[in-house]
Structure 1
Amino acid sequence: MNRALVVIDVQESFRAHPLWETVSDPAIAQRVDRLVRLARGRGDTVVWVLHSEPGSHGVFDPALGHVRLMDELRREEGEPLLHKTSHNAFTTTNLQQLLAERGVRDLVVCGIRTEQCVETTARVASDLGYRVTFVSDATATHPLGHRDAPAGRSVADLLSDPRTLSAEEVIRRTEYALAGRFATIATVAELETAAASRA
């Protein structure tokens, strides 16, 4: 098939981060798994991407052991696993070459964080000429602090700041920014229904 599912940063690093308690969807891995099963059933390529920050001594440092798929997810033999060090999944990996070799022109993207690595990947993919479907309910994120807020605040301080955007608002704004410009917005259920109608 000329379609691929790109699963971005659905990794244990996020569960090891203090912000996980504020995540928009603690069951994100279950929604992603539904997309993975759907892609495999259609014969689509499934590409797994993990974010890595070697030497950072934080949750994205591979040396600490958190840079791995969330425990609920299973990668099958032959499915590419890429490690990136930039926000988007293209710049520091061979993703574009991999997709070109397989003749992929349509991308379905999901993962963590909605407005950061997933959105950035969708924008870059669109600029590279791919038709992008952004599955917003198979993404997750955290509340987003104001640009002028001090760094290193506690979760409580982040949540008590009236300038903080809720995770739900971040997702909604991301959908507005991408729709009709960089991607088609879809839900897991919509994609499942569409696949069933073609079966």
Structure 2
Amino acid sequence: MKQALVIVDMQEVFFMDRKNYLFESEQVVENINNLIQWARANDIQVIFIQHTDLGQDDEMAFGKPEWKLHNRLLKQLEDKVIQKTTWDAFYGTELAQYLQDSMIEQLIFVGAQTEFCLDTTIRSAFSHGYHNNILIAGAHSTINSEALDAEQIIKHHEYIWNNRFVNIQPNTNFQA
């Protein structure tokens, strides 16, 4: 089964201002980088999804420091980067066509934010016919909200997703 590693919105906005720091951010970046190395060692396509706000004054507008992919990620020039303007990486982007053209059958998800863009993209992938997807535990994160702390948000979403929209697997299964 041909796979792709899909890295959602791991952008500088989550590393520049304490109020936006991802829960366990250092470990999440390390885990994602390990997955990138594993993907490359196994000839698996690496796809970066990059949220792009449309307004020039918006925090994540094209070209702003907060918009850039996190500088510690092991991104290479040949990696596909798909910009999106909504929470859904499929909506109004080339993602569906790119996956079809590349004959990708299974998506491996990591990234941010758990309850927003990652959740929406995981559910959209399922609706697009990708029913055997994987989410890597410890390789996605979010920030605290007024209702729940980040750890609770992650646990809740993993409970909802597992064996429905994705199969959650530990990152130890994916070592280069």
Residue 90 of structure 2 aligns to a residue whose secondary structure is coil
Look up the match of 2:172. Answer: 189
Please, which moves more after superposition, 62-71 or 79-88?
62-71
- Counterpart Cα distance in 1 of 2:11 and 2:59: 10
- Counterpart Cα distance in 1 of 2:117 and 2:9: 8
Q: 1:58-105: per-residue Cα shift (whole Å, max 9, x none)?
A: 321224332111111132232111110010211121011111111101
What is the TM-score normalised by the length of structure 2? 0.91
Look up the match of 1:58. Answer: 58
Percent of aligned pairs sharing the same letter: 27
1:84 aligns with 2:67: no
- Counterpart Cα distance in 2 of 1:174 and 1:190: 21
1:165 aligns with 2:166: no
Q: Count residues with an aligned counterpart.
A: 174
| Structure 2 unmatched runs, 5+ | none
What is the TM-score normalised by the length of structure 1? 0.81
- Counterpart Cα distance in 2 of 1:64 and 1:80: 20
- Counterpart Cα distance in 2 of 1:189 and 1:165: 28
Residue 120 of structure 2 aligns to a residue whose secondary structure is helix
- Counterpart Cα distance in 1 of 2:59 and 2:18: 10
Say which one has the larger Rg: 1
Look up the match of 1:141. Answer: 142
Q: For the structure 1 residues 42 and 116, does the alpha-carbon distance in structure 2 shift closer, same or farther, using more than 3 Å as the test? A: same
User: Which runs of at least 4 in structure 1 moved beyond 6 Å after TM superposition?
Assistant: none
Please, which moves more after superposition, 64-73 or 176-185?
64-73
Which structure exhibits the higher relative contact order, with contacts defined as CA atoms closer than 8 Å and separated by 6 or more residues? 2
Counterpart of 2:158 (choices 165, 171, 175) is 175
Q: Is the 8 A contact 1:17 1:59 kept in 2?
A: no
| Offset, 1:18 | 4.7
